Amino acid sequence: MNTQDNSDVVEMRSISKGFNGVSVLKDVDFQVRKGEVHALAGGNGAGKSTLMKILQGVYHADAGDILISGKPVAINSIQDAKAAGIGMVFQEFSLVPSLTVAQNIFLAAEPLGRGLLIDDRTAVRKSRELFAEMEVDVDPRAEVSRLGTAYWQLTEIAKALSQNARVLIMDEPTASLARHESEALFELIDRLKKRGISIIYISHRMDEVYRLADRITILRDGRRLLTEPLTNVTPEQIVEGIVGKKIEGQLAYRARDHIIHDGAPLLEVRGLTAGRRVRDVSFTLRPGEILGLAGLMGSGRTELARALFGIDRVDDGEILIRGKKSSLASPQQAIDAGIALVPEDRRAQGLVLDHSVRENLLLPLLGKIRRGPLLDQGAGKELSSSLISKFAVKVAHPNRPVRLLSGGNQQKVVIAKWLGNDPDILILDEPTAGVDIGTKSEILDMIRDLASAGKAVIVISSEYPELLAVSDRVLVLKDGSVLRDIPRSEIADEEYLQLAVQGV
Ligand SMILES: Nc1ncnc2c1ncn2[C@@H]1O[C@H](COP(=O)(O)OP(=O)(O)OP(=O)(O)O)[C@@H](O)[C@H]1O
Ligand SMILES: [Mg+2]
């Protein structure tokens, strides 16, 4: 059954929006039909999240109209948006961790005011019905804090459905999901669509867009470039539309002969054990080498990175840097030893959101711009400006707080910040998560260039094509231990790696 018809549930007309005089959306038209998955694509900072925040009542447009099922509506608050049937699956979840799933779903849905709160038993029963309709298995009585992100997301979706949402906005929903969880989400989206629910799907991942979407709208620099059925556009056209130029061969592995095979290893890890997630891990890394870390969620990749960077305590084993035994008991010691870590959870670990872009960039670099007891302001300005342009960070002024940057541009700031310190050993945990296709290919090139310049790089990525594009060797982890250590030349394709990760 296909419930998709040509009537627009949402129509945004000539939407314009600026912040402090800087125009972010210019005259954007955007329509969503009943029962369609509509992909919203565009480079970092193109205005996707801002457009959706307007639909959701968080921001108010400077100009333009919103029609819901053909009728003009004023959306001045999140309540207005909900009443109009717009639901949002937040990237940063809006749940109360100490409450149960059922309490979270029905918490905000209290139209009757105090004293008439829905009782727990009814909430649990209604939640069960919702999850049954969604065909997913979630225990409504479980406390949210005890559940993984995938369940938070399902709870958010159930909450929106309980409020009769007809349109669900999903802004990079798979960013914090494991592979099999993403697949479960896609199947749920298919089922919701069959029930006539419309989904606005924001993602930087082309495979997801092709898997899910009926139509795509591309924003570039705050303007709508096109809206087309997916069947009318090729992936190349989409990439070119987003980036504004052609990109070729970003995911092809190029053998590099820069690895100094007989040179002394830069990093040697022997029998490293840390907590329960890193067990007896050994490997060596030579100058010029890129080592990929593959494994399922929970295989210990991030924990290994944390132990190497002195965040988690090492219980057993040795770390040698340039042949010398090193104690990395804190991140400062790791930094002093020439190691840098670009963490996975960048917002929480990598940035001080209320500080300016410049302050964030210079944080690890203070040693470089210190002149006696004072900081050399001029050198600081120069250094931060050069990093901003090198990494194409889209920001009106280096003094703006990082909080105001788009998601992808915040990621770039973290990467730029750590590279500015010129480390010898670089650990990048999911370096391209959330960045647009153009930036992604730039980051991959940058990783190759760093290695070619004699650095040693460790890359953690859940995207196999990306891992295969840069790694000279892949270390497969499972339950915290090294399952295999495979040279790139022995990995025929993505499927080979996938099987290796599954341990078959
Ligand atoms: N509250 C705000 N104040 C000032 N500028 C803002 C604010 N919110 C967003 N911007 C700016 O608006 C532009 C568009 O941001 P938006 O978050 O909509 O981009 P996006 O398309 O979602 O990008 P990404 O793919 O990186 O998430 C950016 O340049 C951003 O810095
Ligand atoms: Mg965004």
- Token pair listed for 454: 């004699």
Q: Is 404 in the pocket of ligand 1 (CB under 6 A)?
A: yes
Index of the ligand 1 atom closest to the CA of residue 42: 21
pLDDT at 397 over 50: yes
Closest-CA residue, ligand 1 atom 27, reads 407
Q: Looking at residue 260, what is its pLDDT?
A: 62
Average pLDDT, the chain: 89
Which residue has its alpha carbon closest to ligand 1 atom 8? 404
Q: Distance (Å, rounded) from C-alpha 204 to C-alpha 438?
A: 10
pLDDT tens per residue across span 227-248: 999 999 998 899 999 988 877 7
Is pLDDT at 109 greater than 60 in this prediction? no
Pairwise CA distance, residues 73 & 55, whole Å: 11
pLDDT band at 411 (very low <50, low <70, confident <90, very high): confident
Q: Which pLDDT score is estimated for 228?
A: 97
pLDDT, tens digit, 9 for 90 and up, residues 222-231: 999 999 999 9
User: Percent of the chain scored above 70 by pLDDT?
Assistant: 92
Contact 150, 178 (CB under 8 A): yes
**Ligand 1 neighbourhood includes 46 CB (under 6 angstroms):** yes
State residue 3's pLDDT score. Answer: 47
CA–centroid distance, residue 486 to ligand 1 (Å): 41
Q: Of 224, 218, 211, give the one whose Cα is nearest residue 242.
A: 218
Q: For 156-165, what is each residue's pLDDT tens digit?
A: 999 999 989 9
For residue range 456-496, list pLDDT tens digits in order.
999 999 888 889 999 999 999 999 999 999 999 999 998 99
Nearest ligand to the CA atom of 392:
1
Q: Residues 15-36: pLDDT tens digits?
A: 999 999 899 999 999 999 999 9
Residue 258 pLDDT grade (very low, low, confident, very high; cuts 50, 70, 90): low
Task: Report the alpha-carbon distance of residue 254 to residue 252 in Å, rounded.
Answer: 6
**Predicted pLDDT at 113:** 46
pLDDT for 115: 46
Residue of 12, 19, 206, 435 to mutate, ligand 1, most atoms within 8 A of C-beta: 19
Residue 389: pLDDT over 80: yes
- Structural domains in the chain plus CATH codes: 8-243 (3.40.50.300)
What is the value of pTM for the model shown? Answer: 0.84
If 0-12 CB within 10 Å is exposed, 13-18 middle and 19+ buried, where does residue 397 land? exposed
* CA separation for the pair 221, 244 (Å, rounded): 10
Lookup: tokens for 228: 């087309």
CA-closest residue to ligand 1 atom 16: 47
Q: Give DSSP secondary structure letters for 193-256.
A: HHTT-EEEEE-S-HHHHHHH-SEEEEEETTEEEEEEEGGGS-HHHHHHHHHSS----TT-----
Mutate to test the pocket of ligand 1, among 52, 203, 354, 406 (most ligand atoms within 8 A of CB): 406
pLDDT band of residue 421 (cuts 50, 70, 90) is confident
pLDDT grade for 416, boundaries at 50, 70 and 90: confident
Task: Taking residues 199-218, report their average pLDDT.
Answer: 95
Ligand 1 in reach of 24 Cβ (< 6 A): yes
Q: Which position has the higher pLDDT, 156 or 411?
A: 156
Closest to 273 measured CA to CA, from 480, 483, 501, 485: 480
Q: Between 108 and 291, whose confidence is greater?
A: 291
**Lowest-pLDDT range, 205-219, 310-324, 343-357?**
343-357
From the CB of 48, is ligand 1 less than 6 Å away? yes
State yes or no: pLDDT of 442 exceeds 90: no
Quick check: CB of 394 below 6 Å from ligand 1? yes
Q: Which atom of ligand 1 is nearest to the CA of 59?
A: 1
| Farthest-apart Cα atoms in the chain, separation | 75
Other beta carbons within 10 angstroms of residue 361's beta carbon come to: 27
pLDDT, position 251: 66
Residues 452 and 429: their CA atoms lie apart, in Å, by 20
Mutate to test the pocket of ligand 1, among 44, 92, 404, 436 (most ligand atoms within 8 A of CB): 404
Question: What pLDDT band is residue 497 in, cutting at 50, 70 and 90?
Answer: very high
* Residue 458 token pair: 């460790």
Q: Is the pLDDT of residue 1 over 60?
A: no
Centre of ligand 2 from the C-alpha of residue 204, in Å:
10
- What number does the ligand 1 atom closest to the CA of 219 have? 21
Q: Is the CB of 45 under 6 A from ligand 1?
A: yes
Query: Per residue, what are the HEC states of 102-164?
Result: HHHHHHCCCCCCCCCCCCHHHHHHHHHHHHHHHCCCCCCCCEHHHCCHHHHHHHHHHHHHHCC
Cα distance between residue 115 and residue 84, in whole Å: 26
Ligand 1 center to 60 CA (angstroms) = 14
pLDDT tens string 287-335? 999 999 999 878 899 999 999 999 999 999 999 999 999 999 999 899 8
